[in-house]
Structure 1
Amino acid sequence: MRRSGIGRGGTPLARVRRRCGMEHNELRRRVDRVQRLVALGLLLLLLGVAPPLAAWTASWSYAAGTRAENAEQANRHQVVATVTSTGGIGSSGDRYIHETVQASWPGADGKPRVGTLPTWKNAKVGAHRTIWVDRQGEPTVRPRPHSRTVTDAAYAAGATVLGCALPILIVYGLVRRRCDRHRDELWEADWARMDAAGHNPRS
């Protein structure tokens, strides 16, 4: 036998609509209809404001990320570094927290540069490794990948939607709270009238 959805509260969507006061019910009072209209208005406001703003912030973030990509790719290039000695010692004589190696690599002017690099597995004197350097020949990180630009744009769009939704949810929460208080007052007034009429089932 198929069970009725009424006893179980209906579908999840119906329960959400009921909690938000947006389902149709002939027994609802004026305050309930006002709350329903406010909720619908706030929802339409969110749908009208959030998507355009999210698209704009995503586009702005993507453009900024693309510019950063192009700038870093133009200012950085790869060279081959050769290990000259292993183990890093600071100028004060204290060992670095992370082990390092001394290496040399071609500089921007073609002359070899010498410096300290983080060590890697099986790093021995004479070992080679490709590193990224800037225009001055100083070691740096690899250029910004395009995947990071896309991810940042998606995060910007999501943050914009949340930023738009939060104040709207706060406004609806305040409206809901005020409507609940008004409903309580109406219920108390109804009970008072029933007490005065002498047929209050609570007595």
Structure 2
Amino acid sequence: MRKAGIRATGSAPRRLWRRLGFERNPLRRPVDRVQRLVASGLLLVLLAAGPPMAAWCSGWAYDAGLRAEHSERANRQPTVATVVADGRPGSSGDRYIHETVQASWPGPDGRTRVGPLPSWKNAKTGARKTIWIDRRTGEPAVRPRPHTRTVTDAAYAGGAAVIVLGLPLLLVYALARRHCDRHRDALWEADWAQMDADAGHNRPS
């Protein structure tokens, strides 16, 4: 008894060649092979140019992040702030009003600075917290850029580079496929018209 089902024949490269539409199949039209050829060519472009472009963009973003890290750490320094008064509402014109505390901290020149700081949990009078200040002015500053952000930005830059490269290639393929579909439709119409004409000639009188 013969086994049911379709047995895969040929080597893996031959099956891939057939799946891509490049085999000598009489049922395939030349326009089908053109479409597959365009798709394969665009894919090769993406595979060839994508990794180098992603690596370059990632490297550029990583180097820029490192420079920002070093610059911010060079211009800022940590110090310990002590709460001298708590429970004051923020007076800034931001959309959200955050509670602030009045705190003091030593400046870069050794003199004590006093000013408002965003409140934190259990920020009562006498509470202490490490903050970052500007080395020149002594004013509170944002914490220097962490290295994890530099790594993340580099990864995002590499992914964005691949997307930027892939979108135009996808557009080119979409336009090529649209053109091929129109050509296929015209061929089908011509074939149906020929079949109708042949049926009319072969009709018994």
Which interval holds the TM-score relative to the shorter structure?
Answer: 0.7 to 0.9
1:74-93 per-position Cα deviation (integer Å, ceiling 9, x unaligned): 1111111111111225679x
SS at match of 1:132: strand
Structure 1 vs Structure 2 CA RMSD: 2.6
SS at match of 1:101: strand
Matches within 5 A, 1:32-47: 32-47=32-47
Distance, in Å, in 2 between the alignment partners of 1:123 and 1:150 is 33
Q: Cα gap change, 1:99/1:89 in structure 2, threshold over 3 Å: closer, same or farther?
A: closer
TM-score under structure 2 normalisation?
0.82
Distance, in Å, in 2 between the alignment partners of 1:5 and 1:116 is 78
Q: CA deviation at 1:50?
A: 1.7
1:130-177 per-position Cα deviation (integer Å, ceiling 9, x unaligned): 111111211112111111101000000000000100110111011111
Q: Cα gap change, 1:3/1:86 in structure 2, threshold over 3 Å: closer, same or farther?
A: farther
Matches within 5 A, 1:39-118: 39-88=39-88, 97-118=97-118
Q: CA deviation at 1:126?
A: 1.3
Distance, in Å, in 1 between the alignment partners of 2:100 and 2:120 is 8
Aligned match of 1:10: none
Q: Cα gap change, 1:104/1:158 in structure 2, threshold over 3 Å: closer, same or farther?
A: same
Aligned match of 1:185: 186
Distance, in Å, in 1 between the alignment partners of 2:69 and 2:121 is 29
For structure 1, the 5+ residue unaligned runs are 7-13
TM-score under structure 1 normalisation?
0.83
Q: CA deviation at 1:24?
A: 4.7
Identity among equivalent pairs (%): 64
Q: CA deviation at 1:22?
A: 2.8
Distance, in Å, in 2 between the alignment partners of 1:134 and 1:168 is 47
Distance, in Å, in 2 between the alignment partners of 1:99 and 1:113 is 20
Q: Runs ≥4 in structure 1, deviation > 6 angstroms?
A: none
